[in-house]
Chain A
Amino acid sequence: MPYHALDYYRLDEQLTEEERMIRDAVRSWVSDRVIPKIDEAFRDHFFPQEWIPEMAELGLFGPTLPEEYGGAGIGDIAYGLAMQELERGDSGIRSFASVQSALVMYPIYTWGSEEQKRNLLPKLARAELIGAFGLTEPDAGSDPGSMLTTATKVDGGYRLNGAKMWITNSTIADILVVWAKLDGVVNGFLVEKGADGLTCPETTGKWSLRASVTGEIVMQDVFVPEEMRMPDANGLKCPLMCLNQARYGITWGVLGAAQACFDSSLQYALSRPQWGKPIAGFQAVQEKLVHMATEITKGQLLCYRLGQMKQNGTSSFRQVSMAKGNNCRVALEIARIARDIHGANGITDEYPIMRHMMNLESVYTYEGTDTMHTLIVGSDLTGLEAYKG
């Protein structure tokens, strides 16, 4: 079934030629390569490795960075559109791209030494190195400032101790961006696979993001040489700025998942007869379809305007919070309505609905939970920080 993207408010007219071309290139790749394989990957719980060099070839890792560091210098709106198309395929594949670009390449580019940048970024762009981002801990989720992982200064470098949890790609990563407290201040370290005292066990039993690997990072006296500390990554604001980049991509991404659910619902409703006519002809079904289309359209406008502000350098993390919170919420709701419209068929893997719905449960929580984003905007509006103890 060919995919029809909804563009009710003709956002296409606002996009530049290269934005549309980037969107279309990623869309074709997803249709040709991801869609035929994704159900198997999700069912059998693996990330198809052959996608990694193909994504690198397209230029999906660190695409907003300048060319000298392996990027393509694309704008934030084009980046968002690429994330939207990836997540139309699956949130797991978008997660892979988000981690590599926004959570690994971005901090190295922003706070790394020139040597770290020259050394690592082109390899990460070509996916010769896979990265992961370790912030969350068993006892520090929404409140990462309470992290227990520490770094201690020793001769020639640092010793890291602690455990990170829920880390996308930790088991397959060559390089781990690990956040640890050095003399009480959060610092960023680049930990290489195979370091003594480092283990990355896989997290199993997930019902969500099954086509994405998640694991722990357990560090016992792991030595990190001085030249692998990002010199300018000091303070909790640094990992939070990384999250802000990734959240921006998610605001576009989840609309891709929502669009896949809507497209399938519309086609299903038009072709499913009950009482002698397509169910799309019943008022109650139309109301559901219109609600889905309206929320997608509102989400698109939110993304586009946020993208404009990000490109101008005027967006704030609070605006990203509003968009991330809203778009994840509506995407999840749209997936659930899509399930309803597909009747019993909606629970099977003949349709992408349950897969997207289960994935979106993670996306709703990671990169800041729904509630946290509400409370961030809440504190901005009222001046009262409700999330603090």
Chain B
Amino acid sequence: MNIAVLVKLVPDTAAMIRLNGDKSGIETRDLNWVLNPYDEYAAEEALALVEKHGGEVTAVACGGDDQVEALRKVVAMGANNAVLVKREGEYDQLASAKAIANAIKDRGFDLIFTGYRTTDDDSTAIGPMVASLLELPCVTEVNKLEVGDGTLTAERNIEGGSEVLEASMPCVITAQKGLNEPRYPKLKGIMMAKKKQIETVDAEAGDIRTATTTMDYPPERPAGKIVGEGVEAVPELVRLLREEAKVIE
């Protein structure tokens, strides 16, 4: 089985994000960077499949040299190959997806995994866009996967329940939390990853058609409200929680 995993380096999810001066982006100076947590599920699934069925895993990232670190993390987990689709400056989702699709289209992958979202931009677009550009089926937010001979069965959560889909391969799968327990990279793996040759290809992306103009912090939470005191206040509290806050049913 020949599997690609599309990965990205993102700010540590525990980090306090600050915006830059003109609010056009985030202040990157003091950040610790990690592999996008959803890409870890993607990588784990790919590695486990190859351990079971044989084959190779190729980690693919699109971006500047900083993204090499994301690739090395997946190699440290056990991936066989790593490809950096190198681009300069900011891309939008479509440009990134095109660059990735162009870089992988002739490599004969049976499966392409990626996280269903990244914890930074949160666009959830890359997986489906790459699938469309390559004219491949795509199952998003997968939390359970069985791979058979040329087909796969994927389970995903939908509003109020779950859904099981069958798809032909090659296929793009975007990973949701719960798909597996990602392994920790071993110290030996990390030392080996350091020596790994990273293949670099230039991005072929076309025009960039969207651009971020501003970012902002979430609105301050309004002050709490005291509904009343003692047991008598409970019915009113329940009513407000159900009708206004809509947090109970």
Contact = CB atoms under 8 A, between A and B. Distances in A.
Interface of A: 2-5, 7, 10, 12, 17-18, 21-22, 24-25, 28-29, 57-60, 63, 67, 72-74, 78, 82
A29 B184 contact: yes
Nearest to B13: A2
Task: Report, as a range, how many residues of chain B touch the other chain.
Answer: 20 to 34
Given A59-B187, A72-B187, A18 B193 contact: yes
Interface stretch (B18-26, B68-76, B169-177): B68-76
B69 A4 contact: no
Interface of B: 13-16, 30, 32, 34, 68-69, 72-73, 76, 184-188, 190-191, 193-194
Contact of A67 (B68, B69, B188, B190): B188
A167 B16 CA distance: 43
Contacts, number: 61
B25 to A, nearest CB: 20
Q: Which of B15, B76, B187 has the most CB of A within 10 A?
A: B187
Pick from A7, A24, A60, A82 the residue with the most CB of B within 10 Å: A24
Contacts of A63: 187
Contacts of B76: 21, 25
A88 B112 CA distance: 37
Contact of B186 (A10, A57, A73): A57
Q: Which 7 A-B pairs have the closest CB atoms?
A: A59-B187, A2-B14, A72-B187, A72-B188, A18-B194, A21-B190, A59-B186
A12 B14 CA distance: 16
A57 B14 CA distance: 26
B14 A3 contact: yes
B63 to A, nearest CB: 15
A59 B69 contact: no
A21 B191 CA distance: 10
Given A28-B184, A74-B191, A10 B30 contact: yes
Given A2-B14, A59-B186, A73 B72 contact: no
A60 B30 CA distance: 28
Nearest to A21: B190
A73 B72 CA distance: 17
Contacts of A5: 32
A21 B69 CA distance: 9
A67 B193 CA distance: 15
A17 B188 contact: no
Contacts of A58: 184, 186-187
A289 B56 CA distance: 50
B188 A21 contact: no
A63 B13 CA distance: 28
Contacts of A78: 187
A3 B14 CA distance: 7
Contacts of B185: 21, 25
Given A21-B72, A21-B193, 13 more contacts: A4-B15, A7-B30, A17-B68, A18-B191, A22-B190, A24-B34, A25-B185, A25-B190, A57-B186, A58-B184, A72-B190, A73-B191, A82-B187
B67 to A, nearest CB: 12
Contacts of A21: 69, 72-73, 76, 185, 190, 193
